[in-house]
Amino acid sequence: MTKSVVIFIILLGITLSITFFFLPANDGESDAEIVQVEEIKINTSQTKNVKDFGAKGDGITDDTKAIQNAIDEASIENQLVLIPESDHAYVITKPLVMNENSHISGYGATLFMAPEKDTIRNMIWSSPEELIANVSLEGVTLKSENLFEGTDYYADSMISNVQGIYFQGVRNLEIKNVSMTNMYVGLKISQSGNQRNKDIRINDLKIDDSGMPIQISGTNGFRMIDSVLNSSDGGTKWLHSAYLRGDNNHFYFENVEFNNASGGGIAIAGNPQYKNPPQDIIFKDCRIKDSVVGVHINSGAKKVSMSDVVIEGCSLGFKINDASELNIDGVKISNAKPSENDHGGLSLENVYRSTIADVTIDANGMTEALCLLIGNIEDLTLSSFKETNVNNIPLYSVDSTTTIENLIIE
């Protein structure tokens, strides 16, 4: 029979009645499923080489038209476009437009776009007027230069105003072994009209020195494996290494790093412009380093699962506000670095029907509290917390306006 103990805690000048239930540990697997996406289909009988269309790859010649002509012709037959290895970059001055059945392979090749001060430009792009499908990019490197001082969210950062890949209506997309440097936004995927993006598969994506490495919305089915997303370690507001917005569902991340963000290493947030908040998102064996907040979940996000996640060098490990049905299990938080506004291990505000278990916190350098409870807390289970190097900060701190219903600490 389950034992329960009702005790009273006085924190920050208020009295709360909290029930502690001592329950057996749950060793069952999560019921969330790994996201599966449709395979890319390519006609391998022939290829198109951009050099045959006049591309030079000499770092000087504008190769935009030659590469675009190769993409357009190859797409008709669902063929692969080859961008050969070159000692110098292939310079482009306009977006390369991807069509239905567009495929690019560029191992050893770099595409370069110079920044313009007051204009956001895209390197690889799809028209919002057309839903495209069966698209792939592999092996290529995208580069620009961070030449200009950023403003607003990018204040105190150097920026390029160049976005690497921007799709606005794509289904069945594969990106693998792609690198980007000095991007305003590295990979941006958004919804066009009522058609949601679907079946996105990404493997070995590396983004460095970029304001926001990825920003995704309006997508059903997204899988990222073995990737590194490095922000530009600047900005005075909320730039994230990964920003997962509304109308997203069925996402899966495994062995991905999210680093150097002035906001959250991972940010999962709804927004009034989207019909549905993000949901059904899984992170497994991931790392967040040197960001202000490790993981930021808010604005109605739900059904987020995290296992074996390491958070290092962040001022606040988790900042959760207005979220439900979270399953966080197996987290390590350490090496906290102070910031002006966000502090501690976990800040939980308006959290519902969630479980946070097996959390290890090295509190060295940490301020505020290991776990701060704010607003409405309902049906929340906290279990198996392990703390080291705790000095003068409390394990739990409760805001004066907090109401708690069914808080279980195992």
Integer Cα distance of 274 and 329 in angstroms: 29
**Residues present in the chain in total:** 410
3-state secondary structure at position 73: helix
* pLDDT for res 236: 56
The dihedral formed by the CA atoms of 361, 363, 368 and 371, expressed in degrees to the nearest 10:
20
- Output the six-digit token pair for 187: 């990979």
Sequence-ordered list of residues with C-beta below 8 angstroms from that of 121, at least 6 positions apart, any chain = 94, 95, 113, 115, 161, 162, 163
Q: pLDDT band at residue 105, thresholds of 50, 70 and 90?
A: very high
Q: What is the DSSP string of 273-327?
A: TSSS--EEEEEES-EEES-SEEEEEETT-EEEEEEEEEEES-SEEEEEEEEES-E
Question: Residue 338 has what pLDDT?
Answer: 82
Residue for token digits 């230069």? 145
Average pLDDT of the residues of the chain: 89
> Tens digit of pLDDT for each residue in 303-346?
999 999 999 999 999 999 999 999 999 999 999 988 878 889 99
User: Where do we find the tokens 């070159």?
Assistant: 86
Between 128 and 19, residue with greater pLDDT = 128
- pLDDT for position 393: 86
- The pLDDT value recorded for residue 195 is 80
pLDDT confidence of residue 193: 76
Measure Cα distances from 303 to 282, 323, 327 in Å.
Answer: 9, 9, 7
Q: What is the mean pLDDT of residues 23-28?
A: 37
Averaged pLDDT for residues 82-104: 98
Domains assigned to the chain? 31-314 (2.160.20.10)
Asked whether residue 12 carries a pLDDT value surpassing 60, the answer given is no
Alpha carbons within 13 A on the beta-carbon side of 73: 15
pLDDT > 50? residue 174: yes
- pLDDT for residue 278: 97
Arithmetic mean of pLDDT, 359-374: 93
pLDDT band at 26 (very low <50, low <70, confident <90, very high): very low
Tokens at residue 145, please?
Answer: 């230069």
pLDDT value of position 10: 34
Mean pLDDT in residue range 249-274: 94
Dihedral of the alpha carbons of 208, 211, 217, 220, in degrees to the nearest 10: 10
Element (H, E) at 65: helix 64-76
C-alpha to C-alpha distance for 256 and 160, rounded to whole angstroms: 25
pLDDT for position 15:
34
For residue range 68-88, list pLDDT tens digits in order: 999 999 999 999 999 999 999
Integer Cα distance of 216 and 225 in angstroms? 16
Quote the pLDDT of residue 233. Answer: 67
Burial bucket for residue 404 (CB in 10 Å: 0-12, 13-18, 19+): middle
Is pLDDT at 254 greater than 60 in this prediction? Answer: yes
pTM to 2 decimals? 0.91
**Taking the CA of residue 295 as centre, how many other CA atoms within 13 Å lie in the half-sphere pointing to its CB?**
28
Digit-coded pLDDT (tens) for 152-170:
888 888 899 999 999 999 9
Task: Supply the pLDDT for residue 25.
Answer: 36
pLDDT in the model for residue 391: 81
Cα–Cα distance for residue pair 237/403, rounded to 1 Å: 30
- The residue among 383, 377, 380 whose CA lies nearest residue 357 is 383
Judge contact between 71 and 47, C-beta under 8 A.
no
**In which band, very low, low, confident or very high, does the pLDDT at 133 lie, cut at 50, 70 and 90?**
very high
Written as one letter, the residue type at 228 is: V
